[in-house]
Amino acid sequence: MDVQRYISSGIIESHVAGLVSDSEAREVEAAIQQYPEIKAAADAVRLDMERYVQMWAVKPPAGLKQQLMARLNEVEKEEAEVPVAEDKQEKEEEEPRFVMPQIPVLKIWQYAAVAAGVLLVVSAGMNVVYMGRADALGEKIAKAEEEHVALSAEKSAFADRYQQTQKELDLLKDPAFKWIKMQAVGKHTDIVATICWNPATKEAYIIPQTLPEPPEDKQYQLWAIVNGKPIDAGVFQLGNMAKALQKMKEVTSAQVFAVTLEKKGGSTTPSLDQMFVAGKVAG
């Protein structure tokens, strides 16, 4: 049994208030005997109900007991004054009878109104208690859903990063791939980017590493240079992708790899004055 779900279902409160069927009552009593958490919840509900009833209890009118006793004495006196029947034999055969004290109709209605008022207050109080618990439960469910969404997003990001790392490890272990470290050129200093290239399959990857973030209207572009002729190898991203392995266009042949800063989307020819890094292919 899911104890917490059972407790939050509201059946314990209904049982304590006497609003369940006989079969449901037996079920709740069995659960109370079997699970300490359910017993504690039932005890808490009974205590709340008792406290609420005590808090809103209405005292009977002052002198009610004295009035009832006085009226009872009057009724007894009236019975004593009733004439004795002529036929004593029949009187002896009659069974003793109890005479209900006669309470004025007005008083009866007053007491009934007081009792109805007490029941109304208790009912309203229980509704407030149940509504408060329902609101608290709703808040807990909403918070749990938010945490679930956050955990799902975190799990997805972790899975992506794991796949990326596994891919990088596979490339590192593959002897067919060449790793070319591109160093800063010209006025640029302390900048590094790395190329991972497989001449057989023509696959090419880049890790931007320490390239500075470009302006919003600019983008870095990779070039494969063969006999002095630059060949477009595609543009790539920075930001949270700066340390990631990004796949570029296929490169059939290359003697040198270089990166330039171009307009967003790339260019057909490199801006040589905007070259940031370059590196020779060994062999």
Q: What is the pLDDT of residues 66-107, one digit of tens each?
A: 776 777 777 667 666 655 544 555 555 555 554 555 555 444
* Between residues 163 and 177, the one the model is more confident about: 177
What's the pLDDT tens digit per position in 53-69? 666 555 566 666 677 67
pLDDT-derived band at 122 (thresholds 50, 70, 90) equals: low
How much is the pLDDT for 117?
Answer: 59
What is the structure's pLDDT at 134? 74
Distance CA 101, CA 40 (A): 45
- What is the model's pLDDT at position 114? 54
Task: Tell me the pLDDT tens digit for each residue of 193-230.
Answer: 999 999 999 999 999 999 999 999 999 999 999 999 99
Give dist(CA 207, CA 181) in Å, integer.
Answer: 10
pLDDT averaged over the chain? 79
Return the DSSP state at 85.
P
Tell me the two tokens of residue 270: 């490199």
User: What stretch of H or E contains 50?
Assistant: helix 36-55
Q: What is the C-alpha to C-alpha distance for residues 123 and 119, in angstroms, rounded to an integer?
A: 6
Check whether 39 has a pLDDT greater than 70: yes
**pLDDT confidence of 275, banded at 50, 70, 90?**
very high
Q: Where are the domains of the chain?
A: 3-55, 178-280
Asked if the model's pLDDT at residue 264 lies above 80, the reply is: yes
3-class secondary structure, 268: coil
- Phi (first) and psi of residue 206, to 5 degrees: -135, 145
Q: Which of 242, 241, 260 is nearest to 186 (CA)?
A: 260
Nearest to 268 by CA among 227, 226, 225, 223: 223
Lowest mean pLDDT among 110-119, 159-168, 230-239, 246-255: 110-119
Residues near 196 by Cβ (< 8 Å), separated by ≥ 6? 171, 177, 178, 179, 180, 204, 205, 206, 207, 245
Bridge partners of residue 204, in order along the sequence: 197
Q: How buried is residue 33: exposed, middle or buried, by Cβ count under 10 Å (0-12/13-18/19+)?
A: exposed
- pLDDT on residue 263: 94
